[in-house]
Amino acid sequence: MRTQNSKAFQLGIRHGIPIMLGYLAVSFALGISARNAGLNALQAGVASLTNMASAGEYAGFQVIRERSGLAEAALMTLIANARYLLMSCALSQKLAEDLRAPHRLLLGMTVTDEMFALSVAQPGKLNPWYPYGMFTVSATGWTLGTVLGVIVGNALPQRLVSALSVSLFGMFLAAIVPKAKTDRTVLVLIAVSMALSGLASVLPGIGGWSSGMRVILLTVLIAGTAAVIRPVREENADEP
């Protein structure tokens, strides 16, 4: 069992390296926002290490900058990060039924867009040590980037920061393309999701929502429809 956990942890570290590089660039810009809000490097680093959410952190830093109350900061962060509730529910279906509560709680810290995509793409039940490995390197890059953003500020050209963040999009493609090649349903859902996501961003009304709220709406709509039309059978389900 220890050998399996060790292999899963090492695999998570390898898969987490591209995420770390992307996080390093994205969180650098976040660190600049933290500095503008009056936070020092230590405070911004702790915020990133314990939050790991760009939209939520940015909203929180803006609330701090405007000197608003704690209740408003908590509400803003909840709204910006609400999509992670859906991701956690989906990820729970990949866990063994006898997995203990401490592991389930720790796994909640590993739920980001990128790490969720790679975790659900793993075959069979998810070994918790796999996302632990990803989180170890990814959180390091995210926290370090935030700290450097506070310390260095605007020293790096914006073009360089944007170019480094492209690695996150490459990681997403690497996570979904292999599954789409073998499962036509997944391929269709990817195409539908991209089309509806682009449409939702420009539609009157819904286009003004936060990206997190649009993700929640589209996830419930698309995933719910797909679950009814093409339900996934459990691996251990009895044959009819």
Torsion sign (Cα): 50, 53, 56, 59: positive
Q: Note if the pTM is more than 0.75.
A: no
> What residues does each domain of the chain span?
2-167, 183-240
| First vs last C-alpha separation in the chain | 34
> 97 by DSSP, 3-state: which?
coil
- Report the distance separating Cα 13 and Cα 131, nearest Å: 8
Contact of 164 with 22, CB cutoff 8 Å: yes
**What per-residue confidence (pLDDT) applies to 97?**
87
Given a contact cutoff of 8 angstroms between Cβ atoms, the answer to whether 147 and 45 are in contact is yes
User: CA nearest 96: which of 5, 206, 171, 216?
Assistant: 5
The HSE-up count of residue 20 (CA atoms within 13 Å, CB side) is 16
In this prediction, residue 140 carries a pLDDT of 93
Instruction: Determine the pLDDT at residue 35.
Output: 85
For residue 104, give the amino acid letter.
Answer: R
What is the pLDDT, as a whole number, of residue 68?
Answer: 74
Q: Where are the alpha helices (DSSP H) in 1-51?
A: 2-36, 41-51
Contact 170, 18 (CB under 8 A): yes
3-state helix, strand, coil in the chain (%, to 5): 75, 0, 25
Question: Residue 163: its pLDDT value, please?
Answer: 63
- Walk along the chain (240 residues) and give the pLDDT tens digit of each residue: 678 889 999 999 999 998 898 888 778 878 888 888 888 999 999 989 988 887 778 778 877 887 877 777 777 777 777 778 888 888 888 888 888 988 898 888 888 888 988 898 888 899 999 999 999 999 999 999 899 988 886 666 667 666 655 655 665 676 677 778 888 888 898 899 889 989 988 888 888 876 667 777 887 888 888 888 887 665 544 444
Token pair of 78 as six digits: 């909840």
Looking at residue 175, what is its pLDDT? 62
Q: Alpha-carbon distance 180 to 198, whole Å?
A: 20
In the prediction, which pLDDT does 129 show?
94
